[in-house]
Structure 1
Amino acid sequence: MSTTVPSSELTASAPAESADITEAGTGPAAPRTASWGADPYANALRTGRGPLFLRRSDGWLLPLDVERWCSDAGSADLSALHRCEGPVLDIGCGPGRLVAELTSLGHRALGIDVSEAAVARTRGLGGAALLRSVFDPLPGEGRWGTLLLLDGNIGIGGDPAALLARAADLLGVGGLLIAETAPVDVDERVRVRLDDGRGGLPGESSPGAVCGAAAEPFPWARIGTPALLRHARACGWRTADQWGAEGRTFVSLRRPVRERSARTSSQSAESANSTPVISSQLPK
């Protein structure tokens, strides 16, 4: 379901940003392949229901909980949101239930997603959202208080070490990463496609199969709590908490104490410790 998202679309989708965050790299992102921007995902968000799966080439299916994503935040979500500190960046915000709930709780919150449908739905709920990948330039780099990687989003990019390194660059000193892990002890890298459940095995065709560029596989990871803690320790993260709620499992981690990239370390101490300005992200 890969679709190319040109930089001009990203610029048009992102409202004007405050000068207070221009040094954080908020310009247009480079063109990229956005696997979550194609029809099966957009259709599921529009209807608020599945079926929707991540499908491996061998036919194995991982169900995606579209109905829960499109509902209000539940008690398991709240167990994570009540741990948030400072301004919050929801990575892979989907249809926006977490951003909307955080806003109602009084947090400054911003969602990012590579799906136009997800960003539009988040904004429709009154939340702030940008059409970006976590690996694109983002507002407030080095100043976020909390990052969220819920609903399986710890698998983004298929490389947990790279995602943890990027998260460390986004967080302020002492910042918190809250991740939802797989409820089993697993540590795997896969290439998957989005599937609405009507397609056949590779090479087969059916009326519901996804065709063309939208069928391109993308990298993903499945990480249980033991595996995430191993990856985190190797990168210098400190474990803050572990818990479970409604059959879901979560971990919170403190940002490593280390030197930042040249771009981030060149910021003044005052700028690095200030909070991101995100009120201007709201659609006008």
Structure 2
Amino acid sequence: MRLVFAGTPEFARVALAQLLQAGHEVPLVLTQPDRPAGRGMKLQASPVKQCALQHGIAVAQPLSLRLDGKHPADAAAARTALEAARPDAMVVAAYGLILPQWVLDLPRLGCLNIHASLLPRWRGAAPIHRAIEAGDAETGVTIMQMDAGLDTGAMLLAESTPIAAADTTATLHDRLATMGGRLIVQALDLAAGTGLTATPQPAEGVTYAHKIDKHEALIDWALPAEAIARRIRAFDPFPGASTQAQGEAIKLWSCEIDSFPRLPDAASGQILSIDDAGVRVACGQGVLRLTVLQRAGGKRLRAAEFLRGFALPQGLVLGA
């Protein structure tokens, strides 16, 4: 098929690469404007833009697609480019801009979205993070026919995957990205052949995966150990769970629920014991053993190595 692709991060790049490998024609890619990133804060192209340029595909980076919005010239230029591309369908994956009705109506087959959850659970911006944080047993990818709502369109294809006890947002992201690329190729094959069956999303079970805010990264040690452990996994690699210790912000990257007895008079966040296996911390319920930590500007280190360069004395209350 002749496609326009709209996406920005690595999750979307994987899908674009699989569409190209499957032989689809992509004359135009939409992606977010270059952003400053890295220690030097130099402008960097998105993963999708880099992939498009490597394949000689035209790239548009409008600030908005709303013809009556704050950037009407951007939107008008994007409309001209989209109309010239004459797409059979538009594939959207983590693009970052709301698509107005004129975009939804432009392709012959409409706009198909690759969403990293089993809709209607976890509509919104951060479905992978929120699924892990909530302790979901499984998640997946839904290919959706886009409409004017926030991830409210009819479901075309879906596939699930279990969330393992060791899964982080990083590991689950990579698995879902590959799944999403495979499913969108499958969906387009069906659309070109026997056709796709659209199933309306059920009214029950709707949840929203609100965008991750950096302030959420600070661990509340009054929470149960299991909830904190899920949050540490959910916030890897961004924004990274953290706590205050000895006047410094310490990132927490890996942990385990520990059977070490929690003293009844121990404060939440109090260090109960320290050894090469990790730092045992009292939580609101239970004990958590921190196994991989990081100082600001440093590297992720196993607890034994971290403690050789940073003192965390027994009895210290983290986050205080």
User: What band does the TM-score fall into relative to the shorter chain?
Assistant: 0.3 to 0.5
More helix by share: 1
TM-score normalised by L of structure 1: 0.32
TM-score normalised by L of structure 2: 0.29
